[in-house]
Chains A and B, each alone.
Chain A
Amino acid sequence: MKLTDMTAVELGTAIRERHVTAMEAVEAVFAVIQEREAQLHCFVTLDREGALRRAQEVQKQIEAGKLNGPLAGVPAGIKDNLCTRGMRTTCASRILENFVPSYTAQSVARLEQAGAVLIGKTNMDEFAMGSTTETSAWGPTKNPRNPAHVPGGSSGGSAAAVAAGECFMALGSDTGGSVRQPASFCGVVGMKPTYGTVSRYGLIAYGSSLDQVGPLCRDVRDCAALLEVIASHDPKDSTTVLRRDTDFTAALQDDVEGMRIGIPRDYFAEGLAADVRERVLAAAQVLRERGAVVEEFDLSLVEYAVPAYYTIAAAEASSNLERFDGIKYGYRARDCQDLHQMYKKTRSEGFGEEVKRRIMLGSFVLSSGYYDAYYLKALRVKALIRQAFDAAFADYDVILGPVAPTTAPLLGESLQDPLKMYLGDIYTIAVNLAGLPAISLPCGTDRHGLPVGLQLIGNRFEEKKLLRSAFAYEKAAGGFRNCREVD
């Protein structure tokens, strides 16, 4: 087996057992990068020298027995909205073009403590706003499966890098599907944990009440191992929750006997591509054959999730992005006559179209006279959606559906019609509104050979049940290795 075909856990084992060194692993991914990055553009920043130095350190610590975790020595990519001390962090925006953080995000710090080797920062939609990675100020990322198509977004760089072999695992962030949807489009595994499981400290905020950092990996075992490392109760993030059940790898059992799986009829209504529908229902059948009880049910409220999400996320974003003003760091417009003009020019020139659109939308829904009609109403919808899921989880262990209505669109297709792009998030965003964990798994390809994603949704804090069902599906499907390969 080629080194870069290994999963992260396989590589970690090979390093611990001295078959491979951490430096060789870094050299291997940079060989792939050398070959494919010019075409794919998965990364915003790459640091080969730093990665090699770090690999040597890690190797020493492994040999000294100081590092023995499953991910020690494994090269990782980090989404460019996670702060990395000393390494440029841009959020794929001109406004942070030369921003070098003075501290490292908590999730990244935990990954480093586990011995992972950071090789660079992955491309994304600007400030995580977008579903295709095309709103990046540094140009789009291409889908490794078919470079004419987008990789999805906003964590498109992370998903594409893992799929292409440019790294073994990556961190992304998921506000409305930004980990799960690109995972689905690129044929890898992506997971959004329960809100409050992974610290947001150092994650440059988009929609603070919805944002969660999540893993993008090659299989479910990697996903569990990576989540186990980054999950933490962080005193620096008051929204994290103290959990004692974060030994997620312990949940990897190939057993769904008697597990109750619900399929929301609402998720298979109008707008869902036939190929996607067929693949996802076939996946459900696989689980049924493994002994799961699979039933259809009505989730309701699905059509309200998109407007509620875009109201809440945009409102929070409009405030979160106020700090980018040209005063303290980042881009500052030249030749300004006064403070007001400096704000205006800096922000007009520094932010891209989609970010400006959401800032305006968010400012509008929070403005006096509209707050109750939009923002408060959206919060009420959020509460109702949460209740609808609570009711569903009274009956089911896991909810099954598609990740996205279609497979990866062609480059340039989506930004023409933002509203249509927003509707593409219909199956993922309700999960964020309800704070639930969900995982995206490859479940075959459409007639053009583009990957289709299966979404499994768990109840709050029930990642283990979710991972067990995902692991069982992966086993039944014979693994995901062929999903990543280019035809």
Chain B
Amino acid sequence: MGKQYETVIGLEVHVELATRTKIFCGCSTAFGGAPNTHTCPVCMGMPGSLPVLNRKVLEYAVLVGLASNCEITRYCKFDRKNYFYPDNPQNYQISQLYLPVCQNGYVEIETEDGSKRVGIHEIHMEEDAGKLIHDTWEDCTLIDYNRSGVPLIEIVSEPDMRNAQEVIAYLEKLRLLISYLGASDCKLQEGSMRADVNLSVREAGTQKLGTRTEMKNLNSFKAITRAIEGEQQRQIDLLEAGEPIVQETRRWDDANDCSYAMRFKEDAQDYRYFPDPDLPPVRISEEWLERMRAALPEFRREKMERFRREYGLPDYDLQIITQSAHLADLFEETTALCKEPKKVSNWLMGEMLRLLREREKDPADIIISPAHLAALILMKDKGEINGAAAKEVFEAMFDEDVDPHSYVEEKGMKVEADTDALREVLGQVVAAHPKSVADYRNGKEKAIGFLVGQTMKVMKGKADPGAVKEMLRELLQKES
């Protein structure tokens, strides 16, 4: 029997903060501007320009630190990380090495094996780089500095994770905390959350850590899981074959489901870190920190408890609705308007989740406004539209947040409730299907379903099946 191995994993997670302006200048952080339009002398690295810290970045970093049980460094500094690359206009990145803003924290994660603590070594603030665009047609490289200076925090975990499930649970936990704080939307696909995986294997039962590799370019939970499984196997195979593991940075190739070496430790650059003389040290007062503590929002566990208490929702609903702060807020604001918590919850758990999956979107992307969702629920309650129509309206709201009233009006989807037209159709249907009528009267309850279906068909769906059924019952009773 072969040896037993244990995998040891630590994560470096970069999170783009949701500030309106950049970390060291007043330029917009908005996505999608024409190249180099969200720039100024500071984020373009022009001679003589100077960085000034955006206070909101410090606030978010401290909030994330408090939410993950970190010690807040009362006297923290920024350092320059020097390296030449054109995406970095100054050829140094302003980051924190010696005195990061948060240290020694942890988060609790839940997996099938129960709950566990994952330690946070530190959280530091830094700036993002610009984007290089390689134009193969013209054979040149262009640079867009719109992203240069966008604020990031890097969350460095302790090597406390042992498998992909724990890693995913850890990332989910971070995403939950950070999105509840409103500090970031944490989207892996769009790069507002990026995870680098440090992984080593060692013989089970031993204490000494094996040689680790760092895996980059992981853009989804699936890629992370595949990369971890692949890398631990690669390292075990090397050890089994008696070959050494090389400390290196590897790049995950999602298309080919494999990784390759990017750079070796021997090539590691000397970043010549030193304190940035342009930015005075940040002193954090107890008073300010108290204000930050008071500003911490209600997190998931507390929110679940409160929703259970105030709205009487079952556990299953609570689990789903509180998975994102945005979803939970939508629930609460809609309920406040329509006073129908369970119905709101049903829409969010049913159609909302279905569409999110179908459109491959994140709860943070939901654009439906509470007012529109509440209006839709009330319209359906009053029987102004039927279930099928409501779903169609919901989908339009999901895509464009349409006003359900005007949408229904425009599309002519309103139910013909108890009108002469409907009565006439009912009369026709009853006349045309004497056998079914007879069956119903002879106690075959099912036969009425057929008659409802026929009526809906003639009405082209613009009727409420429940109401039609009631009207048919009434009609057949009268005539008998």
Residues of A at the B interface (CB closer than 8 Å) are: 81-83, 89, 91, 96, 99, 101-103, 105, 200-205, 207-209, 235-239, 315-316, 318-319, 322-325, 327-329, 339, 343, 363, 366-368, 371, 375
Contact A99 B92 (CB under 8 A): no
Closest chain A CB from B329 CB (angstroms): 35
Q: Does any Cβ of A come within 8 Å of B387's Cβ?
A: no
Question: Which residues on the A side are within 8 Å of B86 (C-beta)?
Answer: 325, 327, 339
CA distance A409 to B136 in the complex (A): 56
Cβ proximity bits B131-149 to A, threshold 8 Å, 1 near / 0 not: 0000000000001000000
Query: Would A101 and B84 count as touching, CB distance under 8 A?
Result: no
SS class, residues of chain B in contact with chain A: loop
Asked whether, in the complex, the Cβ of B49 is within 8 Å of the Cβ of A201, the reply is yes
CB distance from A10 to the nearest CB of B (A): 32
- Whether B427 sits at the interface, judged by CB under 8 Å, is no
CB of A186 to closest CB in B, whole Å: 26
Question: Which B residues lie within 8 Å of A103 (CB)?
Answer: 41, 46
Partner of A200, one of B46, B50, B80: B50
Given A238-B279, A319-B82, A343-B84, A375-B274 contact (CB < 8 Å) = yes
From B45, B92, B278, A208 is in contact (CB under 8 Å) with B278
Interface code B37-77, partner A: CB below 8 Å = 1, 0 otherwise?
Answer: 00001001111111111000000000000000000000000
Among candidates B41, B51, B80, B91, residue contacting A102 with C-beta atoms closer than 8 Å:
B41
Instruction: Report the bound CA distance from A203 to B50 in whole Å.
Output: 9
Q: Which residue of A96, A207, A235, A367 contacts B47 across the interface (Cβ within 8 Å)?
A: A96
Interface centre among B46, B89, B272 (most CB of A within 10 A): B272
Which of A83, A319, A363 is packed against the most chain B CB atoms within 10 Å? A319
In the complex, whether B270 has a CB less than 8 A from a CB of chain A is yes
**Residues of chain B lying within 8 A (CB to CB) of residue A325:** 84, 86, 91
Set A201, A316, A318, A363: member contacting B48, Cβ < 8 A = A201
In this complex, the interface size class of chain B, counting residues with CB under 8 Å from chain A, is 20 to 34
Docked Cα-Cα span, A101 to B143, in Å, equals 20
The one of B45, B272, B278 in contact with A323, judged by C-beta atoms closer than 8 angstroms, is: B45
Partner of B92, one of A83, A96, A319: A319
Jot down 22 A-B pairs with beta carbons below 8 A, ordered by A: A103-B41, A103-B46, A201-B50, A202-B48, A205-B278, A208-B277, A236-B50, A238-B278, A239-B50, A239-B278, A319-B92, A319-B272, A319-B274, A322-B91, A322-B92, A323-B90, A328-B44, A329-B46, A339-B86, A368-B270, A371-B272, A375-B274
Check A238–B280 contact: CB distance below 8 A: yes
Q: 20 other contacts beyond A81-B48, A366-B82, A366-B272, with CB at 8 A cut-off?
A: A82-B48, A101-B47, A102-B46, A202-B49, A204-B47, A205-B47, A208-B277, A235-B52, A238-B51, A238-B279, A325-B86, A325-B91, A327-B86, A327-B89, A328-B46, A328-B89, A339-B86, A343-B84, A367-B270, A368-B272
Inside 8 A of A83's CB, which chain B residues have their CB? 46-48
Verify A101–B48 contact, CB threshold 8 A: yes
Q: A239-B278, A315-B274, A363-B272 are in contact. Are A323 and B89 (CB under 8 A)?
A: yes
- Chain A: minimal CB distance from B14 (Å): 23
Contacts of B91 in A (CB 8 A): 322-323, 325
* Interfacial chain A residues near B143, Cβ < 8 Å: 327
Chain A contact residues, majority secondary structure: loop
Chain B nearest CB, measured from A369 CB (Å):
9
Residue numbers in A under 8 Å from B90 (CB-CB): 322-323
Q: Is the CB of A239 within 8 A of B280?
A: yes
Q: CB-nearest residue of chain A relative to B41? A: A103
Q: Smallest distance from the beta carbon of A85 to chain B beta carbons, Å?
A: 11
Question: CA–CA, A371 to B274, complex, Å?
Answer: 9
Residues facing A in B405-423 (CB within 8 A) are none
Nearest-Cβ distance from residue B78 to partner chain A, whole angstroms = 10
Looking at B84, B89, B277, B278, the one whose CB has the most chain A CB atoms below 10 A away is B277
Contacts of B82 in A (CB 8 A): 318-319, 322, 366
Q: A268 to nearest B CB, angstroms? A: 32
**CA gap between A55 and B161 in the complex, in Å:** 71
For A105, the chain B residues whose CB sits under 8 A away are 48
In the complex, chain B residues whose CB is within 8 Å of the CB of A205: 47-48, 278
How far is it, in angstroms, between the C-alpha of A24 and the C-alpha of B462 when the chains are bound?
89
> B177 → chain A, closest Cβ, in Å?
30
Contacts A204-B47, A238-B280; A319 near B80 (Cβ below 8 A) = yes
Rounded to whole Å, the gap between the CB of B212 and the closest CB of chain A is: 20
B277 near A316: Cβ-Cβ < 8 Å: yes
Alpha-carbon distance A105/B51, docked complex (angstroms): 14
A236 near B48 (CB under 8 angstroms)? no
| B221-277 contacts to A (CB < 8 Å) | 270, 272-274, 277
In the complex, which residue of chain B has the Cβ closest to the Cβ of A205? B48
Task: List B contacts of A363 (CB < 8 A).
Answer: 272
Separation of A143 and B364 alpha carbons in the complex (Å):
68
Q: Return A110 CB to nearest CB of chain B, in Å.
A: 15
Q: Name the residue on B nearest A368 (C-beta).
A: B270
Q: A209 to nearest B CB, angstroms?
A: 4
Residues of A within 8 A of B46 (CB): 83, 101-103, 328-329
CA distance A319 to B86 in the complex (A): 15
Give the nearest-CB partner of A366 in chain B: B272
Q: In the docked arrangement, what's the CA distance between A102 and B36, Å?
A: 15
A237–B50 touching, CB < 8 Å: yes
* Contact between A322 and B280, CB atoms less than 8 A apart: no
Q: Are B277 and A322 closer than 8 Å at their CB atoms? A: no
B99 CB to closest chain A CB (Å) equals 14
- Per the bound structure, the CA–CA distance linking A89 and B44 in Å amounts to 17
* 10 interchain residue pairs of minimum CB distance: A322-B91, A209-B277, A208-B277, A366-B272, A202-B48, A204-B47, A83-B48, A204-B48, A323-B90, A323-B45
Q: How far is the CB of A101 from chain B (nearest CB, A)?
A: 7
Considering the chains assembled together, what is the distance between the CA atoms of A235 and B50 in angstroms? 10
Cα distance A91–B46 when bound, in Å? Answer: 13
Interfacial chain B residues near A238, Cβ < 8 Å? 50-53, 278-280
